[in-house]
């Protein structure tokens, strides 16, 4: 835990157990039991890739250069707000196993779109996903598909922003990593 919010005050509960809180044994508030509001606040301190609030919070890429900032929301809108896109995406992953997903979770952070997956590179899946999302956006008729251009380029080349940064690193010279923030954040 990080905190409990009571009567307008944040009570430090750093490192304490929510399980202990549920049993009335939280050192910060001995004898008190959590409310639903305490549980909701506690959930805000968990940082999975997708967090359910009153909406889905997709946390996979919450910052980046200005030129790409609308790409991720456009991808998710294209995939989730269109029934045909939902069906196509579901069909794409319908036979993925638990082992497939574990492999991707373990390997993609190191290898990106070069990750071997089912006899091909993961880049092939990225291309399909972007195509599905683009179709979903086009069917919405709101001219949102152009926001996918950066993702289309990444899927086509297999080079992510991380790859671009690694390629650019030698040119940053004495500025080192500080140059990264100038070029790759907004």
Tens-digit pLDDT profile for residues 89-112: 999 999 999 999 999 999 999 999
Answer for the pair 103, 117: CB distance below 8 angstroms, yes or no. Answer: yes
Q: Is the Cβ–Cβ distance between 139 and 84 less than 8 Å? A: yes
Higher pLDDT, 184 or 143: 143
Please report, for the chain, the start and end positions of each structural domain, with discontinuous segments joined by +: 3-46, 63-184
Structure tokens given for 180:
């990264």
Average the pLDDT over 56-78 and give the result.
83
**Average per-residue pLDDT for the chain:** 92
DSSP string, 119-135: TEETHHHHHHHHHHHHH
Could you give the CA distance from residue 90 to residue 94 in angstroms, rounded to a whole number?
6
The lowest-confidence range among 6-10, 53-57, 102-106 is: 53-57
Nearest to 65 by CA among 184, 153, 182, 147: 184
- pTM (2 d.p.): 0.77
Least confident piece of the model among 28-32, 68-72, 83-87, 153-157: 68-72
Sign of the Cα pseudo-torsion (52, 57, 58, 62, in order): negative
DSSP letter (8 states) at residue 96? -
The better pLDDT of the pair 9, 174 is held by 9
pLDDT band at residue 186 using 50, 70 and 90 as cut-offs: low
pLDDT tens digit sequence for 11-51: 999 999 999 999 999 999 999 999 999 998 998 888 888 88
Backbone conformation region of residue 4, classed left if phi is above 0, alpha if psi is from -120 to 50, else beta: beta
CA distance 166 to 68: 18
Residue 101: burial class (beta carbons within 10 Å; 0-12, 13-18, 19+) = exposed
């Amino acid at each position: 835990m990080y905190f409990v919010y009571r009567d307008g005050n944040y009570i430090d509960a750093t490192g304490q157990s929510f399980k202990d809180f549920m049993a009335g044994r939280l050192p910060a508030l001995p004898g008190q039991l959590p409310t639903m509001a305490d549980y909701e606040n506690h959930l805000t301190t968990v940082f999975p890739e997708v967090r359910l609030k009153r909406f889905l919070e997709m946390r996979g890429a919450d910052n980046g250069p200005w030129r790409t900032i609308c790409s991720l929301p456009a991808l998710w809108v294209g995939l989730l707000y269109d029934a045909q896109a939902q069906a196509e995406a579901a069909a794409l992953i319908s036979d993925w196993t638990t082992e497939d997903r574990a492999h991707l979770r373990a390997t993609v952070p190191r290898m990106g779109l070069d990750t071997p997956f089912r006899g091909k590179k993961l880049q092939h899946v990225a291309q399909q996903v972007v195509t599905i999302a683009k179709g979903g956006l086009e069917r919405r008729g709101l001219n949102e598909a152009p926001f996918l251009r950066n993702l289309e380029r990444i899927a086509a080349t297999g080079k992510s922003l991380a790859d671009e940064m690694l390629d650019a690193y030698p040119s940053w010279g004495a500025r080192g990593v500080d140059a990264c923030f100038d070029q790759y954040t907004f």
